């Protein structure tokens, strides 16, 4: 019956393979073998399945969390990947993927638990996959979450040669009574900013347009103003704030955390404050890295557009009462980031730069 169904398909001179159609199972198998140790290096005791299972299993027993709430986020790296293809910074792209998701869930007060990734690409090159996953694993270890699953999809008709897309999925847990933002945010509360590592993952469509005419050799030259090459600056991975968040959750009294992603300070702070309140951000309190000044000058891009597109040097904002500012600044000492008061909550609407 099977022979009749297949007909001439068994004739060697007419046989077509999946690899000839653009998908190499052998390359995928090799890639999975290379990434297994990276994923396993992130495992927590709650992980119940190994790499390669049809579904990733994670224990839902939270003995130390009262009335647990799961918090999830999904995101991608965006057009920053164009630089990863060009300069081969695949490991950095993997770290970026974790940062985009984990930095969101901590804003609900959640501690990261596990992470899954999706890699869609033109052609599976096992060594490139390993670099990407090594970065994802590094980000997961830094965040304290387990890389428990993922997918590799080879689609040559969908992606251009040498290109790929990354999508991540993070889940964390928080006790319901400790969820953020709190409802008692009020005028006079202070906004503490933790520095970004640079552009992070937002605004690259604009940044790439600004830098489109930069000659190839200029990308790799040391730039005294930037302190590195332009290539190193634009491919630097986004800072992950899970460790800072843990310190704040364990010892602080935070009212809200704000991940400064797409939309910058102007669009993200209003997401966590009650109606009738706004925020004042003091320009002279911001430490704006040189890369943003470079973009503004070369564009040219006006200030309003810069602040609505980029993080402008602040990757995470923390809202606390005025009386507890110093205690929170003390909690954040020792982390590799600049921490400073950048503004306050005020009556009104929106975010005012003053």
Residue 251 lies in a domain: yes
Whole-angstrom CA distances from 274 to 107, 184, 277, 301 are 16, 9, 6, 31
Q: How many helices (H) and strands (E) does the chain have?
A: 13, 12
DSSP-assigned letter for residue 239: P
CATH code, domain carrying 35: 3.30.1330.10
CATH code, domain carrying 340: 3.90.650.10
Residue 245 lies in a domain: yes
The model carries a pTM of 0.94
Residue 185 lies in a domain: no
Residue 183 lies in a domain: no
Residue of 52, 43, 48 lying closest to 60 (CA atoms): 48
Residue 184 lies in a domain: no
Query: Which token pair is 174?
Result: 């928080």
The SS3 assignment for 110 reads: coil
Looking at the fold, whether 154 and 48 belong to one and the same domain comes out as yes
**Strand partners of residue 167:** 76, 118
Looking at the fold, whether 133 and 194 belong to one and the same domain comes out as no
DSSP-assigned letter for residue 112: E
pLDDT tens string for the chain (354 positions)? Answer: 555 555 555 555 678 888 888 888 999 999 999 999 999 999 999 999 999 899 999 999 898 899 999 999 999 999 999 999 999 999 999 999 999 999 999 999 999 999 999 999 999 999 999 999 999 999 999 999 999 999 999 999 999 999 999 999 999 999 999 999 999 999 999 999 999 999 999 999 999 999 999 999 999 999 999 999 999 999 999 999 999 999 999 998 999 999 999 999 999 999 999 999 999 999 999 999 999 999 999 999 999 999 999 999 999 999 999 999 999 999 999 898 999 999 999 999 999 999
Dist CA 80 CA 334 (whole Å): 30
Residue 348 lies in a domain: yes
Range of the domain at 127: 2-178
Looking at the fold, whether 245 and 295 belong to one and the same domain comes out as yes
Dist CA 131 CA 19 (whole Å): 23
């Amino acid at each position: 019956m099977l022979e009749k169904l297949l007909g001439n398909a068994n004739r060697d001179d007419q046989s077509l393979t999946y690899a000839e159609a653009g998908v190499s199972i052998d390359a995928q198998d090799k890639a999975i073998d290379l990434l297994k140790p990276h994923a396993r290096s992130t495992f927590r005791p709650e992980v119940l399945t190994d790499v390669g299972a049809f579904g990733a299993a994670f224990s839902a027993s939270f003995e130390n969390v009262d009335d647990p709430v799961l918090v999830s986020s999904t995101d991608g790296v965006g057009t920053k990947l164009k630089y990863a293809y060009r300069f081969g910074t695949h490991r950095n792209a993997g770290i970026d993927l974790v940062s985009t998701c984990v930095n969101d869930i901590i804003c609900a007060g959640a501690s990261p638990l596990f992470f899954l990734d999706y890699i869609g690409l033109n052609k599976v090159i096992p060594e490139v996959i390993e670099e990407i996953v090594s970065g994802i694993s590094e980000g997961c270890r830094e965040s304290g979450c387990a890389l428990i699953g993922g997918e590799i999809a080879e689609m040559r008709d969908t992606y251009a040669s040498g290109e790929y897309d990354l999508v991540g999925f993070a889940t964390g847990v928080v006790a319901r009574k400790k969820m953020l933002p709190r409802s008692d945010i009020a005028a006079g509360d202070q906004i503490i900013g933790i520095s970004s590592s640079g552009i992070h993952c937002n605004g690259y469509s604009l940044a790439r347009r600004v830098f489109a005419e930069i000659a190839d050799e200029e990308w790799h030259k040391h730039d005294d103003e930037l302190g590195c090459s332009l290539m190193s600056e634009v491919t630097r991975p986004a800072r992950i704030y899970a460790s800072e968040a843990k310190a704040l959750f364990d010892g602080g009294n935070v009212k809200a955390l704000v991940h400064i992603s797409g939309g910058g300070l102007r669009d993200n702070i209003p997401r966590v404050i009650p109606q009738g309140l706004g925020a004042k951000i003091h320009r002279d309190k911001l430490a704006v890295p040189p890369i943003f000044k470079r973009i503004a000058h070369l564009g040219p891009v006006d200030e309003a557009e810069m602040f609505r597109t980029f993080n402008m040097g602040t990757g995470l904002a923390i809202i606390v009462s005025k009386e507890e500012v110093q205690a929170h600044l003390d909690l954040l000492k020792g982390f590799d980031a600049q921490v400073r008061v950048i503004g306050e909550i005020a009556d009104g609407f929106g975010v005012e730069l003053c």
